Amino acid sequence: MKSERLLIIGVILLAIVFIVPRLKPILFETASEHAVNKFNIHYFDNLVGPKQPTPTKTALFNELRPHQSLERYAYGKNSRMAVLLTTPNPSWLGLAHALKTFGIPFIITTNVAEALQHKVVFTYPELPGKLDSSQLDAIRNFPARGGTLIATNVLGGGMSYMFGFDKIIPSKDRHDIHWNTQHPLASDFLDPREKVATLGHDGLIGSYSFTNPAETPLAKFEDNTAAITQRHIGNGRAYAFGVDLGYYLISGYNNPDLPIARCYVNQLEPSLDTMMRVVKRIYQQSEPNAVTVWTVPKGKDLSVIYTHDIDYAQSIVNAVEYAKYEKAQGIRGTYFTQVKYIKDFNDEHFFNKRGVRYLKQLDDLGMEIASHSVSHSRQYSRFKLGTGNEMYPTYVPLVINNSTTYNGTVLGELRVSKFLLDNFRPSMQPNAMVTGRPVVSFRPGVLSVPRLLPEAMEATGYLYSSSVTADNSLTHMPFQLNYTYAFRQEAPVFEFPITIEDEEKPKMGSRIQPAIDLANKLKRYGALFVVLIHPNVLDHKLAFEKQLTQAVKPYAWFGSISDFGDWWSARNEVQVDVIGPRQVQLQVPKPIDGLSVVVPTDWTLKSVKVIKGNAVTVTQSGQRVQLTNQFSGNAVLSF
Ligand SMILES: [Zn+2]
């Protein structure tokens, strides 16, 4: 018996010594050990890069970053809305970015007396917050003195009587907010999706309802309780929102995969937009000097951007046909190009000598060349940041199947694709006839978004992202991103979400009328309309683009992601203040072409005085006042 036992132990030991090491490559295979077959890579002669590393051990990649300073949003005249922060460091960036997007001039302050100098005050995130009793008294008396107060999370502070309700009832089980479309503030919400905003069905957005409202509510929940109350007090008004608007906004901007939206793409999902349209109208009706910044270049009604994802061998050939059509129409499209020098599970390599010939044609036709990653991996959202030293041709992300990719990094996808695209573009050569600019726009394959994308884009020289759908973001407007899609600090990167795409059924060519109908709804509030067409086929998809162009041309501005992004980021810096009777001061630090402001109905332009900067021509059409040429500097418009 003893010798048998020894034999068994011996066999086990032999197994450990000989078999386990052979299993190791299967069991413990790591990315760096994964074999790269050199024959699967397309090598361009002597090409290596980018040689400049991307630093990763910097504050940019420290997720414990400090909270955004108020400094940038602290200054402005009393004609602006005042956002009064009542607790330290709430998620106010959501509100700030939405106010910027909708062109509502504002300041943010923690000083109650300063806030109450303004006609319209938004207390955020809650009342009473950290305010003392004398500060709360001042706020309670503000509407009676003619001010307009907007508040979220009215939890106490003796405010309920002034707002006109008895009690609040919290819940995580309310799903819908029904606007009172009899009310002038919501009377142009015509579509069912405008009439009802969604909070989702997963309890992600909590809410408060208000009992026994003194006046007809501006909106109700599906259980018929008050969601947004209104009260007239003398010449003043008070509105209490039963949702935390800043948190709701940031949930749409930051978390496109949360199950809140009612649809994914190709439809109208304006839940955040209707909220902000109401806030904008409250400002316009309550502030006699309400001058807002318009959202579309050249005073048009809708910003239309054609984007094309090249992620398949035939697509790079067909793309040139789309580009020729667009050039003939005077339109610049954006060509998100996968830099596919590796043959893998997805496809053969098409970023090779032949692919580069077509890329050069797109560049020569004046189209925007943008990055659609190297690997087009479905796992991009889970990639590690990387070393910042990834280079062609040693960076070899290998897509094994739909659920496995080896060797890929967040930075590798960004820096190596940008390097190769810029390297081959004729407009980037030193002797170019028309000088281009480096690639600045990015869209990941299958919209797989890593949390570190905003900072990784900044670190690698990108400015503009089109990586989510509008419907999933609950908004058809552009917005600024925050680092790590969190709430502490804003990144110098803007998102332009996708409105229409070509993969849902029925096929794109038979969806032209719904797309035109959607454009007609979005033009009513100056929204963004980003179209994604994969150029894998011409046929019905090119026909779609041609029909759409003809239909929206009378009211649309057309341009690429970078054209619009440059315009949008310059607009983001514009400061608007009313400095005297009907005197509007525009501070425009970055050059912008075709900026418009919207003035009160009875204002007529009398004169324009440039204090600093180049000469400018200004025209007025109704309430819209447009600077028709490129301008930067400081000007005063008198009405
Ligand atoms: Zn793609």
Q: Residue 259 — very low, low, confident or very high, per pLDDT cuts 50/70/90?
A: confident
In the prediction, which pLDDT does 64 show? 87
For ligand 1, the distance from its centroid to the CA atom of residue 308, given in whole angstroms, is 9
For ligand 1, the distance from its centroid to the CA atom of residue 188, given in whole angstroms, is 37
In the prediction, which pLDDT does 1 show? 47
Degrees, nearest 5: CA angle 375-459-91: 105
66: which 2 tokens? 């400090």
Q: For the chain, what is the mean pLDDT? A: 94
| Non-local CB neighbours of 349 within 8 Å, separated by 6+ positions | 40, 41, 42, 340, 341, 342, 343
For ligand 1, the distance from its centroid to the CA atom of residue 487, given in whole angstroms, is 29
For ligand 1, the distance from its centroid to the CA atom of residue 315, given in whole angstroms, is 11
Q: Residue 537 — very low, low, confident or very high, per pLDDT cuts 50/70/90?
A: very high
477 CB neighbour count, 10 Å cutoff: 24
DSSP E strand stretches across 183-298: 196-198, 207-210, 219-221, 226-233, 236-241, 292-293
Best CA proximity match to 304, nearest among 516, 573, 536, 572: 516
Q: What is the pTM of this model?
A: 0.94
Best CA proximity match to 535, nearest among 334, 266, 322, 328: 322
Which long-range contacts link 34-39 to residues 24+ away (Cβ below 8 Å)? 34/398, 34/406, 34/407, 36/396, 36/398, 36/407
Question: Could you report the per-residue pLDDT of 163-189, keeping only the tens digit for each?
Answer: 999 999 999 999 999 999 999 999 999
In the prediction, which pLDDT does 23 show? 45
In the prediction, which pLDDT does 146 show? 97
H helices of 181-310, in order, are: 192-195, 245-254, 271-286
Task: Give the strand pairing for 368-371 and 334-337.
Answer: parallel
pLDDT tops 70 at residue 24: no
For ligand 1, the distance from its centroid to the CA atom of residue 452, given in whole angstroms, is 20
16: which 2 tokens? 């450990």
Residue 322 parent element (H or E): helix 313-328
For ligand 1, the distance from its centroid to the CA atom of residue 345, given in whole angstroms, is 14
SS3 (DSSP) at 46: coil
Report the half-sphere exposure of 449 (CA within 13 A, side-chain side): 24
pLDDT tops 60 at residue 323: yes
Best CA proximity match to 180, nearest among 225, 207, 217, 209: 217
Q: Residue 206 carries which DSSP code? A: -
Cβ-contact 164, 238 below 8 angstroms: yes
Q: Residue 85 — very low, low, confident or very high, per pLDDT cuts 50/70/90?
A: very high
For ligand 1, the distance from its centroid to the CA atom of residue 52, given in whole angstroms, is 27
Ligand 1 ion: residues within 5 Å (CB): 309, 311, 445
Cβ-contact 145, 102 below 8 angstroms: no
What Rg, from alpha-carbon coordinates, does the chain have? 28
For ligand 1, the distance from its centroid to the CA atom of residue 443, given in whole angstroms, is 8
Question: Could you report the per-residue pLDDT of 144-167, keeping only the tens digit for each?
Answer: 999 999 999 999 989 999 999 999
Question: Could you report the per-residue pLDDT of 429-467, keeping only the tens digit for each?
Answer: 998 888 899 999 999 999 999 999 999 999 999 999 999
What average pLDDT does this structure show over 19-26?
A: 44
In the prediction, which pLDDT does 91 show? 84
3-state secondary structure 106-129: EEEECCHHHHCCCCEEEEECCECC
In the prediction, which pLDDT does 89 show? 85
For ligand 1, the distance from its centroid to the CA atom of residue 449, given in whole angstroms, is 13
For ligand 1, the distance from its centroid to the CA atom of residue 537, given in whole angstroms, is 14
281: which 2 tokens? 């109208």
- φ/ψ of 479, rounded to 5, equals -155, 160
For ligand 1, the distance from its centroid to the CA atom of residue 446, given in whole angstroms, is 5
| Non-local CB neighbours of 321 within 8 Å, separated by 6+ positions | 535, 538, 542
Residue 21 parent element (H or E): helix 2-27
In the prediction, which pLDDT does 34 show? 61
In the prediction, which pLDDT does 351 show? 97
The region that residue 27 occupies, defined by phi over 0 for left and psi between -120 and 50 for alpha, beta otherwise, is alpha
Q: Percent of the chain having pLDDT more than 70?
A: 94
Distance CA 432, CA 33 (A): 42
Distance CA 156, CA 169 (A): 12
* Burial call 354-393: b when 16+ CB within 10 Å, e when fewer: ebbebbbbbbbbbbbbbbbbbbbbbbbbebebbebbbbbb
Degrees, nearest 5: CA angle 198-201-205: 65
| Non-local CB neighbours of 348 within 8 Å, separated by 6+ positions | 313
For ligand 1, the distance from its centroid to the CA atom of residue 252, given in whole angstroms, is 23
